[in-house]
Structure 1
């Protein structure tokens, strides 16, 4: 047996360079590169290996471990899970920072390889710098915290363990039905230890993403169910996007006259202009999709996990005769909602279902309902895009609010704009060769409802975990995947302040991104949630502490985000009206370096409702009548929701 003597870290780098992926007969490198923040736990091991011989791996310097890992997730997501980045950090805080990102990847079923440093396997220097000590076990380190949020976890305490660890890692990273974060913890002494690795460990490995169709029996069961239904509705989820099944969905919908609605992950798998595309559904869905969903007698979920936002906390589908059919590469997700299931790739399974249903001559029973619902929503969109602020008759979009906060912020900045109007302007401006990125706050709701995706894969939303701080990091990852497109991070001020460090990495890498920062002086989405459920504004607006009351209910804290970001070396703009916004968008597009547009937004000017309900915990006991009413409303809605 031929062997080659390498350190564990060197062997790992050599192995990653030998991994390929094959999709529809097209072969390419699987691991694009490594994001790294070096510290004492990885710099002399994995860092040395990458310096000496990185092979084809691109090495990027991160600014925050969570941020760089979120960028890696966004890269894999935008690449439709066909390419990945690895991320390495030191032991301790660096590793712990990646745990949130690991959860983001696993919640969204996005592959990412995390390689945190670890304490010494010999335990002789213990406790080393940044080591967590537990009296009940010397084997526990910070990296054990990755276990609940990863699809696969291992710790390499001997060099030869690297082989089985990495083969298992690749098994999970290339598993379309059950992928997510993979953590391989690397004790710092083991990284530098040498071993005679067999050369076959480094042979070229091609991981095939096989388009497995559902079984004949599953297809027959699905056809039988559809034939009994008059008003089916397709939900296009992220699995449809990763399978690149948009054209098959359109053909299926046209042939059988079945409307399509979208989840956050599925949006832009097909164009918004498609006649049977109703848009977003559920809690952040629009009026058209939710009206049709409420009356549908069959829900066909294609690549969706049926999260509470998609299902309206299982209360969106109100027809007493409604049943569920799923197409999903994951058996676990396919069996949700007690559905008739097809376990397989969305693209080929839709083709098989189409062929069998076509032979039966099926057509849905819809007449004018789809067109009427779309027309109603179109009129509402026009209204939302045209809202202007007038302090005399201004009415907030979110029920249960007064306009005091909007007037106060308008006066503070001398001018500001409604959020829906701003989104409309941006949507009109972006016509081709772009990707928008979002994740948290009120923007995902407004974007799922209002944004028209006129190009495939132009809408990139992380909403499986709704991780604040993903937006800027994610934009960098998307730009690495789509270098020829303009990438726009759409983020609120709260999320931006949580994490935007990879904006500097974008400057370093000459990878231009554009940050569209919606500043409404607070966590506006949660402020709306608390106030619409009977509470007052409490701890969600960015206000100074009031010396008289002792509470955070003083004046708003104005922040000049443009001035701050200018110091990073990006081109910045501060806008308060539509004219300034249009000029900034046009000029930013012509820049070669990253940009930030600080957009002053009026509070309470986002969208709300549209025939949906979200189950959140409301206090059962309170002295406030408004909270008592909110609790009663929750119980009433809960009684109408499905119980599985």
Structure 2
């Protein structure tokens, strides 16, 4: 067997450049590029290997800069979602703080079941120079490094402590990255000395290799039980999650509901599974759902979950399902999710394959009753009318967030991608955004990570350069991680950022009110030394539009006034016509809320307090908690 003399880093870079994902007729590079921020831990290893590849074979493993290690992973995750989990980027960081900065990204990737390859550098395997710069030291275990923090956050973790370990570790990492049931953050820890060490690399390790995505068929007996339950159901409902999108199952889902009349509610990750104007689509379901989806789901005698994790927002903290005889069919490629909440009818299968089987069995002879169909139609029409009203400009100097969403929606194209993650926007978008394309709704709500949005916009645009990426972000989340605007300028990547200035945390401010804490600590105000808090009237003199302009991108400022919504629509149209990135800055009134969809979220309230607001909130909390079910069943 022929071999080549290479460093560990050189071998890893070339190996990654030759990995391919195959999904039916689709074949694409699993790792089309690598982000990296260099320090003493990786500049001589991964950094040198990427430089060498750039000179010898530039297309093998393209290198991209980032301004924050966390943002590298966010870009990778957003890219992976747009590619339906067939491809992702690698992210290389240096020892210590560089590696630690990626921990949030690792948690986000794993929580969202999204592939992301993390390559944090580690301290010397030989320990010849202990302690090196940026090395953490634990007296009870000197073998612990910062990188051990990745272990509970990763679906796969290993450390290349000897050069010969690279082969088995790299292959195992690729297996997890390309397994739909197991994927998430995949972390290969690379000690800085080992990265630069030499070894003989077999040609077979460096040769092109294909990884076929598993699309498991449903087993016969679980499928038969699920079909029997559906046939007996008078009021079934489907909850479509991210698995529908990742498996490309939206067409077959549409075929099933058109044949049977079964209505659909979507999770945040499932947005786009069925388009907003389809007769069977009820909108988002759960704590941030629509009244249509929540009312129909409350009465359902059968809930068919497809590719959903059943988070507390989806189940409205287990209060949305109120039929005492409700049964659950959970279809999921991961057994962990298929068995969630005590389901009696788990079906472990790919979403597309399972839906194909359901269509074959049910399309010809099962359909919901006309009475049920009429109720579905009525609830959908009522909610759509409420959204129409919410989108109408109020003429107020400071518009509410619903008007802003409506203006952006009206100025956008069907294939544009709206991107969000945290604050009050995910809830409002889940209720209000009218998804017109399967990949047009990109809201990261499994980890709901502040700071995800702008980096994700770059990831979306890298994956789909023919679509406009519209990032909607509040000032609180913007302040967490806005520096990737520099990346947009450096690479000429066009994104549109709609920055909503609330002068504080709009979402948590509202939540603070509901739990009786009176928005404490949620306003951006000058500290009042007399009251010892930030609840005064002195608004901070910050200028986020100027901040964005300093990065070199175009900025459009919407001044407060009665015509601000009309000016916002015009600004979005101008940004779409531009070839470069644009940030649109608009002030809003965070106390104007979206229509209520009837959902609830369990956030515990203090059981005793001297505050009357907290006492009242606790009484309301007990009333809502009484509706919770111990198991979905």
Q: What TM-score results when the alignment is normalised by the length of structure 1? A: 0.94
**CA deviation vs aligned residue, 1:69-103 (integer Å, no higher than 9, x gap):** 11111111111101110000100100000000000
Q: Does the 8 Å CA contact 2:407/2:566 hold for their aligned counterparts?
A: no
Of the three residues 584, 599, 602, the one matched with 2:589 is 602
**CA deviation vs aligned residue, 1:313-336 (integer Å, no higher than 9, x gap):** 011011111110111110110111
Worse-superposed segment, 531-540 or 293-302: 531-540
Equivalent residue, structure 1, for 2:175: 171
Q: 1:539 to 1:178 in 2, by over 3 A?
A: same
2:378 maps to 1:372: yes
2:259 maps to 1:277: no
Q: How far did 1:57 drift?
A: 1.5
Equivalent residue, structure 2, for 1:189: 193
Equivalent residue, structure 1, for 2:363: 358
Q: How far did 1:372 drift?
A: 0.9
Q: Does the 8 Å CA contact 2:527/2:533 hold for their aligned counterparts?
A: yes
Q: How far did 1:642 drift?
A: 1.4
Q: Does the 8 Å CA contact 1:34/1:86 hold for their aligned counterparts?
A: yes
Q: Does the 8 Å CA contact 2:253/2:273 hold for their aligned counterparts?
A: no
Of the three residues 603, 607, 624, the one matched with 1:616 is 603
Note the residue ranges of structure 2 that are not aligned, 5 or more in a row: none
Local SS of the residue matching 2:283: strand
Q: Does the 8 Å CA contact 1:88/1:116 hold for their aligned counterparts?
A: yes
Q: 1:608 to 1:539 in 2, by over 3 A?
A: farther
Equivalent residue, structure 2, for 1:641: 628
2:552 maps to 1:572: no
Q: Does the 8 Å CA contact 2:286/2:314 hold for their aligned counterparts?
A: yes
Q: Does the 8 Å CA contact 2:508/2:519 hold for their aligned counterparts?
A: no
Q: How does 1:5-154 map to 2 (within 5 A)?
A: 5-54=5-54, 55=57, 56-154=60-158
Local SS of the residue matching 1:641: coil
Local SS of the residue matching 2:594: coil
Equivalent residue, structure 2, for 1:249: 253
2:472 maps to 1:490: yes
Q: How does 1:424-435 map to 2 (within 5 A)?
A: 424-435=406-417
Q: How far did 1:180 drift?
A: 0.1
Equivalent residue, structure 2, for 1:411: none
Instruction: Give the Cα–Cα distance (whole angstroms) in 2 for the partners of residues 297 and 638 of structure 1.
Output: 21
Worse-superposed segment, 428-437 or 125-134: 428-437
**CA deviation vs aligned residue, 1:527-583 (integer Å, no higher than 9, x gap):** 000112222121001011124323212212243222221111100011131232122
2:341 maps to 1:337: yes
Q: How far did 1:17 drift?
A: 1.4
Instruction: Give the Cα–Cα distance (whole angstroms) in 2 for the partners of residues 53 and 502 of structure 1.
Output: 25
Q: How far did 1:633 drift?
A: 2.4
Q: Pairwise CA RMSD of aligned residues?
A: 1.4
Instruction: Give the Cα–Cα distance (whole angstroms) in 2 for the partners of residues 585 and 459 of structure 1.
Output: 17
Q: What TM-score results when the alignment is normalised by the length of structure 2? A: 0.96
**CA deviation vs aligned residue, 1:577-604 (integer Å, no higher than 9, x gap):** 1232122112211222211001111121
2:515 maps to 1:528: no
Equivalent residue, structure 2, for 1:229: 233
Q: How far did 1:338 drift?
A: 2.0
Q: Does the 8 Å CA contact 2:234/2:301 hold for their aligned counterparts?
A: yes
Instruction: Give the Cα–Cα distance (whole angstroms) in 1 for the partners of residues 329 and 289 of structure 2.
Output: 20
Worse-superposed segment, 429-438 or 298-307: 429-438
Local SS of the residue matching 1:239: helix
**CA deviation vs aligned residue, 1:481-521 (integer Å, no higher than 9, x gap):** 01111111111000000111111101111111111101111
Q: How does 1:536-555 map to 2 (within 5 A)?
A: 536-554=518-536, 555=538
**CA deviation vs aligned residue, 1:104-146 (integer Å, no higher than 9, x gap):** 0000000000001110001011110100001011110000011
Local SS of the residue matching 2:89: strand
Instruction: Give the Cα–Cα distance (whole angstroms) in 2 for the partners of residues 584 and 13 of structure 1.
Output: 43
Equivalent residue, structure 1, for 2:617: 630
Local SS of the residue matching 1:311: coil
Local SS of the residue matching 1:171: helix
Equivalent residue, structure 2, for 1:395: none
2:219 maps to 1:215: yes
2:437 maps to 1:437: no
Q: How many residues align structurally? A: 620
Instruction: Give the Cα–Cα distance (whole angstroms) in 2 for the partners of residues 125 and 549 of structure 1.
Output: 52
2:565 maps to 1:561: no
Q: Does the 8 Å CA contact 1:442/1:606 hold for their aligned counterparts?
A: no
Q: How far did 1:53 drift?
A: 1.4
Instruction: Give the Cα–Cα distance (whole angstroms) in 2 for the partners of residues 352 and 432 of structure 1.
Output: 30
**CA deviation vs aligned residue, 1:439-496 (integer Å, no higher than 9, x gap):** 0000001101000011220111100000000000000000000111111111100000
Equivalent residue, structure 2, for 1:502: 484
Q: Does the 8 Å CA contact 1:283/1:609 hold for their aligned counterparts?
A: no
Q: How far did 1:362 drift?
A: 4.5
Q: How far did 1:367 drift?
A: 3.5
Note the residue ranges of structure 1 that are not aligned, 5 or more in a row: 391-414
Q: How far did 1:387 drift?
A: 5.3
Instruction: Give the Cα–Cα distance (whole angstroms) in 2 for the partners of residues 296 and 203 of structure 1.
Output: 53
Q: Does the 8 Å CA contact 1:233/1:296 hold for their aligned counterparts?
A: yes
Q: How far did 1:42 drift?
A: 0.5
Instruction: Give the Cα–Cα distance (whole angstroms) in 2 for the partners of residues 99 and 78 of structure 1.
Output: 22
Instruction: Give the Cα–Cα distance (whole angstroms) in 1 for the partners of residues 595 and 104 of structure 2.
Output: 29
2:580 maps to 1:593: yes
Q: How far did 1:382 drift?
A: 2.0
**CA deviation vs aligned residue, 1:228-266 (integer Å, no higher than 9, x gap):** 210011011000000111111111111111001111101
Local SS of the residue matching 1:384: helix
Local SS of the residue matching 2:34: strand
Q: How far did 1:270 drift?
A: 2.7
Runs of 4+ aligned structure 1 residues displaced above 6 Å come to none
2:398 maps to 1:386: no
Worse-superposed segment, 537-546 or 52-61: 52-61
